[in-house]
Amino acid sequence: MTRARMPRPHEVAAARRDPRLLRAMAERQLDEAWRTRGVCQSVDPETFFPAPSEPADAAVALCRTCRVQGPCLAWALDAGDSHGVWGATTPRERRAMQVAWQGAGGPDAAVVDEPGPLVRDRMLTLVPLS
């Protein structure tokens, strides 16, 4: 097994602009029962935990069709889950997102660099609670 490396600064900067992360920040507390409505409920769980030598494309494709991507990814980032596919992201993508998630003052605050038009319409303004 290989050891995961820390994400590089440019990867973290890209993660801060990633629409999936922005959606997770916006939808984090909006859906307490997200697990019951996930597409993953009707699929073999092993699909979302491919072996390191196998591609995660099938799982990511299923996640992209799911209505609860945001809360799912927020849960994975809150829990620090580094295995499997959550919220249409791979463990490698989540490592950079995790740094952005924590570096923004925790999951209750966000640093956003020019979000795209689809995200801008759904984005909430998040401020630190401290």
Predicted confidence at residue 38, as pLDDT, reads 92
Contacts of 118 (CB under 8 A, 6+ apart): 19
Conformation bin of residue 17: beta by default, left when phi > 0, alpha when psi is -120 to 50: alpha
CA distance 112 to 2: 32
Model pLDDT for residues 82-110, shown as the tens digit of each residue: 899 999 999 989 989 998 888 654 444 44
Per-domain residue ranges of the chain? 30-108
pTM over 0.85: no
Between CA 31 and CA 8 the distance in angstroms is 32
Where residue 11 falls (left for φ over 0; alpha for ψ -120 to 50; beta otherwise) is alpha
